[in-house]
Amino acid sequence: MSKKIRVAVLYGGRSGEHEISLQSAASVVKNLDTSKYEIIPIAIDKQGRWHWNEAPKLLAKVGKSLPIDPSAPEVILPAGPSSEESGTKVVLAHQNTQLPQPLQSFDVVFPVMHGPLCEDGTIQGLLELADVAYVGCGVLSSAVGMDKDVAKRLIRDAGLPIVPYIAVKHGDWLRSSSQIKSQVTREIGYPCFVKPANMGSSVGVHKVSSADGFDAAMNDALKYDTKILVEKAVSAREIELAVLENSQYGEEPLVSTAGEIAPTHDFYSYEAKYLDENGAALLIPAKILPHELELAQSIARRAFAALDCEGLARVDLFMDKNTGAFYFNEINTLPGFTQISMYPKMWEASGISYRDLLSRLIELAITRHERKQKLYREYCP
C-alpha cells in the first residue's frame, strides 16, 4: 500500500474571521478521505503563533469547531526549501523549554482561513518561500481578490460588468472631503454603499441614503481600512457560484450551479450574517432561468481567469431585480468551508461531494507544485 499524503490543515489565523475558520477546519478534517490522507492540524492562534497539534488527541475533540491547544509546540517554518523527498520539514519548539524538537514534515498545506493575513497572499507568500505545495490561489490572485478596488479594475478590464464606484484613499478624504462628496453626488448618487476595500464579513459596510449620513459612514469605514469604496446601491438579488480549477490542466475551470443569499435585513450586514439566525435564507439552487444561470456561470468563469485564480474561488454576483442584469461584486479565494457554507454546498448540488472536492483540491495543489518545480529559475541558453 502506498504511503498516505500528509496534509497540514492550517486554521485559525489573525483575522476577524478566526472563529469561522475553526468551524471550516472542523468540517474539513471530518470530511478528508483518511484512506488517502494523514491529517496534521496546524493552528494559528490570534497572536499569530503556529501550533503543531497531535492529530489523534485533537481530532477526538472536534465538534462544531476545531479547537486550538495553546500548549502544543510551536511550529517554525523554514524560509527556504527543505528536502524534496520527505516533504517540507518544520522545526517544533516547546514553549517551556525552547528546545527544538525532532523535525516534523508534511506534503501539502490546506489553508482553511479567511480574511486579511489569511487569504490575502501573505500566508501564500510564506508558503512559496518554503517551497510547499498548498491548496488554492497563489500570491497574486489572493492579494488581488482581497482588494475590492483592484479586483474590480481587472474585472472591468476583462469586459465584465461591475456597479459604478469610486475608491477613496484616507489621505484624499483628509485633504478634500468636500470635493469627494460632490463627486459622489454627481457620479454615484444616493443611496450608495460605503465599504472598506480589504475587509470581509460586512464589517464597516454602510448603506447611505443621503449626503447627510455620508461623513459618518466614511469615518466608520476608515477605522478598518485606508481605502474605501463608494458604490452605487443596486436593488439586487445576491447570486453566488463556486469555481474549481479543472483537473485536466489547461481546460476551462468548472463552475457549479448558482446559489442565492436572500437577506431578511436591509442588506447582508454583519448582523444578518452572524448574529441573527434568520438573517438570510440560503437557496441552492438559486431560482433563476437556465439562460440566466448560463450567463452567471460564464461571468464567474471569466472572473476566475481574469484574476489569475487557481484551485478554487467563490464568485459573488448581484442580479438587478428590475433588469435582470448581472454585476460582479466580489471574489473569495478561500471561501467558507463549514458544513453549511455555500461553496461546498453548491458543489454537492452540482454532483461533487465534499470529500471528493477536498481530494480534488489537494491533487490540484500537488500537481501545480510539481509543474512549478520544473520551471527554470535561471537563464539556460
Ligand X SMILES: Nc1ncnc2c1ncn2[C@@H]1O[C@H](COP(=O)(O)OP(=O)(O)OP(=O)(O)O)[C@@H](O)[C@H]1O
Residues forming the site for ligand X (CB under 6 A): 163, 193, 195, 199-202, 205, 231-234, 236, 238, 263, 267-268, 329-330, 332
Closest distance of CB 329 from ligand X, Å: 5
78/263 with CB nearer ligand X: 263
User: For residue 211, what is its C-alpha cell?
Assistant: 449626503
192/358 with CB nearer ligand X: 192
Residue 83 contacts residue 130 (beta carbons within 8 Å): no
Closest distance of CB 315 from ligand X, Å: 11
107/119 with CB nearer ligand X: 119
Query: How far is CA 28 from each of CA 300, 311, 327, 330, 355, rounded to the nearest angstrom?
Result: 24, 16, 31, 24, 9
CA 142/CA 38 separation, integer angstroms:
26
CA 244/CA 135 separation, integer angstroms:
11
Closest distance of CB 53 from ligand X, Å: 27
Closest distance of CB 224 from ligand X, Å: 10
26/319 with CB nearer ligand X: 319
Comparing C-alpha atoms, which of 201, 199, 209, 271 is closest to residue 229? 199
31/329 with CB nearer ligand X: 329
Residue 331 contacts residue 316 (beta carbons within 8 Å): yes
As a three-state string, the secondary structure of 205-259 is: CEEECCHHHHHHHHHHHCCCCCEEEEEECCCEEEEEEEEECCCCCCCCCEEEEEE
Closest distance of CB 2 from ligand X, Å: 39
